[in-house]
Amino acid sequence: MQRGESVFNTLALIKPDIAQDEKAVSHVIRRITGRGYLIKDRVEIKLSNAQARAFYAEHAGKPFFDGLVAFMSSGPLVALLIEGDDVIRGWRTMIGPTSPAAARQLAPQSIRAVLGADGPRNAVHGSDSAESAQRELSFFF
């Protein structure tokens, strides 16, 4: 995964709540490339319930798990492999806090503030560490 001292790959997921809205998808892609990151690969996929359970296995048993799985398997999503300097931290900063309501207060220009609705319908996902990025990228690519 690591290509140089500070160049990394990470996963950006455009979730089912906005993945079918080409204007929203274009907004996310413009934000990614506008920051200087490269989109190295793109996959559009509809996860099965089993695939969504496997992807979010670390959250199994938590109160929100079943709803998250149902949502993530409810429609197509777009998985992007993005590359760039400090991309994990940079992408996480761009997407903002997990809660769209919190994002609107704390990071009003973030992707989740602009495109997110509520709870798991927060528009996008980003890997939170190099280890997570490696695991999550191998799920889709």
Annotated catalytic, 125?
A: yes
CB atoms near residue 49 (< 10 Å)? 13
Q: What are phi and psi of 80, to 5 degrees?
A: -120, 135
Given the residues 52, 82, 125, 140, the one annotated as active site: 125
E strands in 1-141: 7-14, 38-45, 77-85, 124-126
Query: What residues act catalytically?
Result: 125
